[in-house]
């Protein structure tokens, strides 16, 4: 009986809060600036690059390898921050570790987390 009530409660929560939280998660954007202040990136909720700004001062010391490394590192930091925001937004619906496993592609952990949640072990 408790399992049925838990499933019903979860289904109601998904139906009432799910669409709003999903839209909020999809709308996440994070902007990060490189440590030297010359590169600014904005990424979307999936870590995709939305905008890249390069300060013209970067061309005073042209080093394409350094610039590429700076862009890559800044995008990675922004993507990690975006993923954290998505986890924060969806946490009322999906336990954080289950959602993190899903984002990491760890299907074994996803199934385990869902099973734990279903049986009240989360």
Domain range summary for the chain, segments of one domain joined by + = 21-118
Name the pLDDT band for 7 (thresholds 50, 70, 90). low
pLDDT at 4: 67
pLDDT at 2: 63
Burial class (CB in 10 A: 0-12, 13-18, 19+), 106: middle
Fold classified for 21-118: Ybab; Chain: A; (3.30.1310)
Residue 10 has pLDDT above 80, yes or no: no
Task: Encode pLDDT of 44-101 as tens digits.
Answer: 999 999 999 999 999 888 899 999 999 999 999 999 999 999 999 998 888 888 888 8
Q: How distant, in Å, are the alpha carbons of 49, 79, 100 from that of 106?
A: 24, 18, 9
Residue 19 has pLDDT above 80, yes or no: yes
Residue 115 has pLDDT above 80, yes or no: no
Instruction: Name beta bridge partners: 39.
Output: 54
52: left (phi over 0), alpha (psi -120 to 50) or beta: beta
Task: Encode pLDDT of 20-49 as tens digits.
Answer: 989 999 999 999 999 999 999 999 999 999
Its pTM stands at 0.80
């Amino acid at each position: 009986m408790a399992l049925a009530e838990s499933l019903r409660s979860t289904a109601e929560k998904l139906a009432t809060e799910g669409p709003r939280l999903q839209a909020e998660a999809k709308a996440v954007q994070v902007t990060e600036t490189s440590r030297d202040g010359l590169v600014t990136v904005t990424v979307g909720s999936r870590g995709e690059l939305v905008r890249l700004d390069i300060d013209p001062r970067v061309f005073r010391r042209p080093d394409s390898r350094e610039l590429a490394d700076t862009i890559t590192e800044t995008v990675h930091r922004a993507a990690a921050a975006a993923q954290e925001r998505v986890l924060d937004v969806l946490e009322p619906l999906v336990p954080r570790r289950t959602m993190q496993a899903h984002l990491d592609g760890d299907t074994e952990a996803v199934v385990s987390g869902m099973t734990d949640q279903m049986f009240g072990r989360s």
